[in-house]
Amino acid sequence: MRFGFVTCVQLGLSCMEAIYEVGGTLDLAVTLHDDQARTKSGRVYLDTFCADKKIPLVKSRNVNDDAVVEALRAARLDWLFIIGWSQIAKERVLSAPRLGVLGMHPTLLPEGRGRAAVPWAILKQLPRTGVTLFKLDTGVDTGNILDQVEIPVASNVTATHLYEAVNKAHIALIKGAYPKLVEGTIEPRPQNHAAATVWEGRSPEDGRLDLGGSVWAAERLVRAVTHPYPGAFVEIDGSELVIWRATVAEGGDAPAGAIPIEFHDGTLLALEYDRRDPLAA
């Protein structure tokens, strides 16, 4: 069996490493050019790993470019993984490997098709989320499911910790599925499309705190877009305060260095933050 991999983020690199940890190999890797997606959450570079493992590495601005399709076909792949990649693979990429293309999505599909799965799980106050290994088709997160891992979501979880849990779930799924893919024993099952939900993409501007809203919503937003995401922010005294950690004041003295931010139903204490001049961005 011959495998290829497309990624530009840590979740994908973790999966590549996991394949080698279970004794597998990769016959081709595809990633973005170094000057692309530099601010993408979790952005990584594959050069060192691919050089160490002697994996041919193709860099392209789009996974659907002719050079990528030609490389996929020349590699005579059985399966191709595309993980942590925002571009939608078109039919000629999906048909290049003999058996198809596999992806991972950080929700329990069919719930949460779309983007920004980790922030949305926190913002929606879900009790659980997960990661789904599925076969890509021409839809968005609509293909048959190979396996899933469930992740409990604590009421005070941050994006940092949930991202780490999602990363571990990716690794567990890859380690469990890779041997079955080699043996040809894995059995995909169709999604329940009637139960599907779609989550919209998010931009850094969506991290702006609404001072006319609830302090509890603000605290939740801080947790949802902290590292590795761009952070929540608010304008104070002519500069932007980018908040990485905060808590709702519950009486008593505020911790040293905390900055209070007032809402109609309480005070948010910014505990870890950066100041930046919005005009200097």
State yes or no: cis peptide before 110, omega within 30 of 0. Answer: yes
State the greatest distance between any 2 C-alpha atoms of the chain, in Å, as a whole number: 67
At 227, which CATH number? 3.10.25.10
Q: What is the pLDDT of residue 252?
A: 77
Domain boundary among 149, 182, 199: 199
Domain boundary among 136, 167, 199: 199
The domain in which residue 132 lies consists of 3-199
- The CA-based dihedral angle spanning residues 165, 167, 171, 177, taken in that order and rounded to the nearest 10 degrees: 90
Q: How many domains does the chain have?
A: 2
Residue pLDDT, tens place only, 37-82: 988 878 999 999 999 999 999 999 999 999 999 999 999 999 999 9
Do 168 and 263 fall within a single domain?
no
Q: Which long-range contacts (CB under 8 A, 24 or more apart) does 94-98 make?
A: 94/136, 94/137, 94/138, 96/69, 96/72, 97/4, 97/72
Do 148 and 29 fall within a single domain?
yes
pTM for the model: 0.90
Average pLDDT, the chain: 95
Domain boundary among 142, 171, 199: 199
Mean pLDDT of 130-143: 95
At 27, which CATH number? 3.40.50.170
Do 141 and 188 fall within a single domain?
yes
pLDDT higher than threshold 70 for residue 281: no
Amino acid identity of residue 100, one-letter, is: G
